[in-house]
Amino acid sequence: MDHLVLAARLRLMRETSGLTLHDAARALGSHTMTVRRIEAAETAADADQVATLLDLYGASPEKVRQMLASVAEANRAGWWHPYRRVMSPEQQRWIGVESAASVLRLWHGALVPDLLQTQEYARALYQVREPGDDGGREDQKLALLAERQARLADRGARLWVLMSAAALHTMVGSPEIMRAQHEHLRTAAARRHCTIQVVPLTAAPHPLTAAPPLRLLRIPVPEIGDYAVWDLPGDDRVDDDPAVVSPLRQAMDVAGAVTPIHVPLPFPDLPHAVQRV
């Protein structure tokens, strides 16, 4: 997160100074792509480069001191570093944002969103999505999920979940796993920082009805806008362009406005043939 803040502040200082990427690249003796990567937090922060840019932008001595002091923090490995083997490049991009978000809004049209999943539910899903995968990867992915959930609870960040009632009926694993998952949802809904809205199966379409799973992450830092993360087959898609994120935020607002806050009911009745599984 510190890396993103540092990068965003460098970009804003360049733009405020009226300088172009070419101006910054010339001062560094590098290509404009190098500056783009620095401003996108796609490369490790280099103290000498940061100092050169701050001098170019006319930063005050105090500002230089503060910014250079943040370089070490920006380069410190995140808590998720041990799990990188089971994380996609896109997840590594947004996990730091999630870890610092003050508000997390999730939408899913068929399943319980990951931050509200039990370990048994998550394991059953993983075994469907990654059949034949080695147990080591599975255990690490589940440990990563548990760590994300625990850190979210410890921070007291606001979790606002919108999901279809289909998620309460989609059989993941077994009836026992589903009953435990439903009880977990009831417990989560009672927490002060958690809101769960369930769209009834009989509800009219809303702006997210046909949309893939989506998370919107809000950072309490003015230099960084909201992030949108699509959960797509094979990998995630991350976007922080306000022109993209703003309509998604509006769609989430509208969908939430027409859906009552709802504590999940007991496990839906199952066909007898399913009950005997």
Question: Domain containing 111 — which CATH number?
Answer: 3.30.870
Q: At what angle do helices 2-16 and 32-39 cross, to 10 degrees?
A: 130
Intra-chain end-to-end CA distance of the chain, in Å: 46
Q: How many domains does the chain have?
A: 2
Say whether both 139 and 100 belong to one domain: yes
Q: What is the reported pLDDT for 1?
A: 62
In the block, tokens 């996609």 appear at 88
Phi, psi angle pair for 241, to nearest 5°: -70, 120
DSSP class of residue 169 equals: H
Say whether both 196 and 213 belong to one domain: yes
CA atoms within 13 A on the CB side of 127: 11
User: Across-strand partners of 195?
Assistant: 160
Q: What is the reported pLDDT for 157?
A: 92
Q: Choose one of 43, 74, 105: the last residue of a domain.
A: 74
Say whether both 36 and 163 belong to one domain: no
Q: Rounded distance, CA 140 to CA 138, Å?
A: 5
Q: At what angle do helices 47-56 and 2-16 cross, to 10 degrees?
A: 30
Q: What is the reported pLDDT for 72?
A: 73
Which of 113, 94, 96 has the alpha carbon at shortest distance from 105? 113
Say whether both 188 and 153 belong to one domain: yes
Q: Rounded distance, CA 246 to CA 255, Å?
A: 14
Q: Choose one of 49, 74, 99: the last residue of a domain.
A: 74
Q: What is the reported pLDDT for 139?
A: 92
Q: What is the reported pLDDT for 251?
A: 95
Say whether both 65 and 89 belong to one domain: no
Q: Rounded distance, CA 184 to CA 136, Å?
A: 26
| Total-model pTM | 0.78
Q: At a CB cut-off of 8 Å and minimum separation 6, what does 69 contact?
A: none
Say whether both 63 and 142 belong to one domain: no
CB atoms inside a 10 Å sphere around CB 108: 22
Say whether both 102 and 127 belong to one domain: yes
Q: Choose one of 47, 74, 101: the last residue of a domain.
A: 74
| Domain containing residue 190 | 81-275
Say whether both 136 and 95 belong to one domain: yes
Q: What is the reported pLDDT for 260?
A: 67
Say whether both 141 and 166 belong to one domain: yes
DSSP class of residue 113 equals: -
Q: Rounded distance, CA 182 to CA 185, Å?
A: 5
Say whether both 59 and 187 belong to one domain: no
Give the domain CATH number at 18: 1.10.260.40
Assess contact for 46 and 36: CB atoms under 8 A: no
**Residue ranges in the chain whose pLDDT is less than 50:** 270-277
Q: What is the reported pLDDT for 268?
A: 59
Say whether both 113 and 218 belong to one domain: yes
Say whether both 90 and 212 belong to one domain: yes
Q: What are the tokens at 34?
A: 């190098």
